[in-house]
Structure 1
C-alpha cells in the first residue's frame, strides 16, 4: 500500500514538473531578464540629439554603418525648447526615438521609460571603471545602467590674465579665502563708489550665468547633503555641521556677500556676467567649457586662463578636491524595438578611437571652435592634461558631483524651475533677508515639485 502511494506521489511530482518547465523555460523566468536580441533584417534607428550638428555626428554614424550595413541611423538635432517635456511624453508613446540625448540629472526621472544597458554590451564593472564616478552615480538606477556619455563638463575658474597682471597678481587663487581677497583687490570703483571693473561675477542670480551651479559647488564644499537617498526628502536646507552650523545657509551667505556691503565686487548694473567678462569688465568668472568657448568666440584677443575652482584648506594643510559637473548623456527608449542595435551603436561611439575622431571632427568642422567635448572616459583623460583650456575640467572630473541646480538644461519642470526658487532665495538674502529662512522656502518649493512629479 505504501509503495503504491509513493509511486503515485512521484508520478504527480513528475507531471507537475513537466507542466511547470513547459510554461516557464529559462528565457522567460521572471528573475532572469531578457537581453534584447538583434533584428535579423534591416534596421532604422532614430536618434534625437542636442547641441551637436549632423555634420559632427554623421562621421560616427558612417563609421558604424560600414561594419553594420543593415543598420541605418537617422540623426536629428532637436531644438532645446520644450525638449525635456517632449522627450518625456514621447518616451511613453509609440513615436519615441530609439536613442535620445538627455541631461545627466534627467535620468532618475526618465529611467522608468528607458531601456537598461545589457550586461552583454557592457557590464557594470567595466562601466564604472571606464567613466567618471558622477556618471556611474547618475546613470545607474536600482542597479541598472540607463545611459552612456559622449562628453563631460563641469566648472572652472576663468580669469582675465591682463587684469591680474595690472593688479600685480601672479597666480590665481587656490582657496576661497584667497579668492575673496583677490576679488576685492581686482575691483575698481569710481568716485561715487560705483563698480566699473568687477573683481568677480557672483553674489546675485539674475545676471550671473551658472549661478545655481556655483551655489551647488559651494554647498558641496560646505558638506551639504542635497537629498536623502532613501526617502527622497530634500535636505540641503537642514544639513547641520558637528558644531551646529547650518551649512546650506552658510553657503548662501558666502555667495551673496560678493554683491552687498563693504566687500561688494559685483552688482546687477554690470549686465550679464559672461558678456561683461568678454568685454574686459570682470576679472574672474566661473564657467563650463562651453561658456568658455562663448567667451573666446566673443573676444578672441582676450587673454583668458582657465584654472581649478578654489577649494577649502584641510586640517592637515592641504586642499580639498570637490568639483561640480553638468553634462549630457545618451539613452535608449524602452519603447524601441531595436534596443540591441541602439545600445551597440552607443557603445561604439563611446569607445576610445571614436571619441578621438569625434574630437577631431568637432574642431575641424568649426574653425572658431578651439576645442571639442571633454572626454568622458578616464582612460584617455590624460590626453587633455596639456590643453590650455580643458586641463582644469579634466583634473576636477574624478571628484565631481552634481544635483538639480544645473543651468541651461532647458527642462522647465526640473532644473529650470529649481533655479527659479534658488534665484528668489539669493535675491532675498542680497536684500537683507535671512539665508536660513530663504533657503527653507526654496527647499519647500523644491520638495513640492518633487512630490508632484512622483505622483
Structure 2
C-alpha cells in the first residue's frame, strides 16, 4: 500500500527519559495478518520477553500506514510506541515529518556500528538525508523464476544474464496458437502483471531518480529511455501489446494456485523470494529454478544485482517510552538468532550481514539466489523521498502509457514526468 502524508503536521511530543529496566508495557503495531505470520511475530516477542522480562508488548496487527500515521499525529495513550511497516516507499516521509524518531543516538549509545551490521542497500532504504529513523526488519529481493523443463526443451542451457540473451530466450520460449493467441509466453513484459512494476526491472540499470537537491532527473538519466525502449522492443518481439494484454487477462490471481508461472503460461517470471515457498508447497508439474534478473549488455559485470525492499521498523516520536522501545527495536533487528528465526518463519530474506551468513538459515537452492542478490554490492533500493512512494506511482502510470503506445515523444514525456514528480514533492512539503 502506498500512502502519502498530507502535509507536515507536527508529531505529538514523546520522551526518551524513561528507564528501560523498569516494568513497562509497549504497543507494537504491524501489518502482518495471516495466522502463520502472527504466530511468527508472537514467537519473536516471546524471545524478546525472555531477555527483557520487565517489558510487556501488546500488539495490533493488520494495520496500514495511513492508520498508523493518523495515530502518531494525534498522540495520546492509545498510539503505538513501535511501528513495523511493509512500505519502504514512505521512509522519506517518516523521517522528514518527524513522526518516527531518529535512531542514530540510540545506535551510538548502544555501541552499534550500523554499517557493520546491515547491508548498505538496506541502510539506504531506512534513512533519509542523514536521519536513520528506521531499521530493516527482514527484506525482499527480486529475481527471475524460470521453467527448467521449458528451457531444456528449447535448447537453452542457462538463464539469461544480459538483456539481449533475455529477449532471445523470451522469444524462443514463446508458443503461439493457430488463432494468434498464446500457449505460453517466454516472459510477460506488461507492467500491469503481478510484480512487474517498472521500478523492479529498471533497478538492473542502477538508475538515479533524483538530483542532490531532490529534483527528479529521470529525463536526464540515460538509463530511463534505454529501459523503456528495451521493454517496448520486448513487447514487439513477443507479438505486440494488444495480444499480450489479452493473454494476460487469462491469468489467475497472483497469490492463487492459478498464478501464470505456476500453471505454465509463463516460462520466465519476475518475482520476490516469497514465491519459492509457494512453489515448493504447490509442487507444479515442472522443474523450476531461480536466477538474478538480466542486466544491460554494456554492464555484464553488474550481473547478480537486484532490487531490495522490505519491512522497516521504527520508534514513534510520540512514545514516552523510547528507551524501552529501543530495546525492542534493537532486539528485533540486530540479534542474529532472532533475525534468522524470524526469516525462517516468514520465508523472507534476513536483514543483517550475520544472519545472511548464518548456518541456521533454512535456504534451498531457489531461495539462495535471493540471499546472493541481497549480498551483492551493486544491488539497489528505491531512493527515499519526501513524497513517499508517489513518484513510483507516477512512473508506473507513465510506464502504462508508454507500453500502450500513447507516448509519441519519449523525451518530452519524460520531461513532463519529472515536472509531475517535482510538483508532487512540493505539495507534500507544504
TM-score (ref. length: structure 2): 0.82
Listed as ranges, the matches of 1:30-429 within 5 Å are 36-39=17-20, 41-51=22-32, 53-79=37-63, 83-94=64-75, 95-102=78-85, 103-111=87-95, 112-117=98-103, 119-122=105-108, 126-202=113-189, 204-220=190-206, 224-229=207-212, 231-239=213-221, 246-260=222-236, 264=240, 267-271=244-248, 272=251, 274=254, 275-297=259-281, 300-313=284-297, 318-350=301-333, 351-360=335-344, 362=345, 372-383=347-358, 387-398=364-375, 399-403=378-382, 414-415=388-389, 418-419=392-393, 421-429=395-403
Query: In structure 1, how many angstroms separate the alpha carbons of the residues matched to 2:388 and 2:145?
Result: 28
> Based on CA coordinates, which of the two structures has the bigger radius of gyration?
1
Please identify, of 91-100 and 295-304, the stretch whose mean Cα deviation from structure 2 is larger: 295-304
Give the SS at the match of 2:200: helix
The change in CA–CA distance for 1:307 and 1:180 in structure 2 (over 3 A counts) is same
**Structure 1 residues not aligned, in runs of 5+:** 1-33, 240-245, 364-371, 407-412
Give the SS at the match of 1:169: coil
Query: In structure 2, how many angstroms separate the alpha carbons of the residues matched to 1:104 and 1:110?
Result: 10
The change in CA–CA distance for 1:416 and 1:298 in structure 2 (over 3 A counts) is farther
Tell me the CA shift for residue 277 of structure 1. Answer: 1.2
Tell me the CA shift for residue 301 of structure 1. Answer: 4.1
The change in CA–CA distance for 1:307 and 1:259 in structure 2 (over 3 A counts) is same
Please identify, of 306-315 and 185-194, the stretch whose mean Cα deviation from structure 2 is larger: 306-315
Asked if the contact 2:209/2:383 (under 8 Å) is kept, the reply is no
Paired residues in the alignment total: 392
Give the SS at the match of 2:260: helix
Asked if the contact 2:174/2:186 (under 8 Å) is kept, the reply is yes
The change in CA–CA distance for 1:379 and 1:70 in structure 2 (over 3 A counts) is closer
The change in CA–CA distance for 1:145 and 1:425 in structure 2 (over 3 A counts) is closer
1:18-57 per-residue CA deviation (whole Å, 9 max, x = no partner) reads xxxxxxxxxxxxxxxx964425642111111123632111
Tell me the CA shift for residue 247 of structure 1. Answer: 2.8
Asked if the contact 2:291/2:369 (under 8 Å) is kept, the reply is yes
Query: In structure 2, how many angstroms separate the alpha carbons of the residues matched to 1:298 and 1:405?
Result: 36
Tell me the CA shift for residue 438 of structure 1. Answer: 3.1
The change in CA–CA distance for 1:256 and 1:232 in structure 2 (over 3 A counts) is same
Query: In structure 2, how many angstroms separate the alpha carbons of the residues matched to 1:295 and 1:436?
Result: 41
1:349-379 per-residue CA deviation (whole Å, 9 max, x = no partner) reads 221111223244x26xxxxxxxx22111112
Give the SS at the match of 2:365: coil
Asked if the contact 1:307/1:392 (under 8 Å) is kept, the reply is yes
Asked if the contact 2:144/2:290 (under 8 Å) is kept, the reply is yes
Query: In structure 1, how many angstroms separate the alpha carbons of the residues matched to 2:220 and 2:276?
Result: 34
Give the SS at the match of 2:138: coil
The change in CA–CA distance for 1:392 and 1:164 in structure 2 (over 3 A counts) is same
The change in CA–CA distance for 1:339 and 1:302 in structure 2 (over 3 A counts) is farther
Tell me the CA shift for residue 381 of structure 1. Answer: 1.6
**Structure 2 residues not aligned, in runs of 5+:** 1-14
Query: In structure 2, how many angstroms separate the alpha carbons of the residues matched to 1:127 and 1:312?
Result: 32
Asked if the contact 2:101/2:133 (under 8 Å) is kept, the reply is yes
Query: In structure 1, how many angstroms separate the alpha carbons of the residues matched to 2:343 and 2:172?
Result: 39
The change in CA–CA distance for 1:329 and 1:262 in structure 2 (over 3 A counts) is closer
Asked if the contact 2:228/2:402 (under 8 Å) is kept, the reply is no
Asked if the contact 2:90/2:384 (under 8 Å) is kept, the reply is no
Asked if the contact 1:216/1:402 (under 8 Å) is kept, the reply is no
Tell me the CA shift for residue 345 of structure 1. Answer: 1.1
Higher relative contact order (CA 8 A, sep 6+): 2
Asked if the contact 2:91/2:388 (under 8 Å) is kept, the reply is no
Partner residue in 2 for 1:26 = none
Give the root-mean-square deviation of aligned CA atoms. 2.9
Partner residue in 2 for 1:367 = none
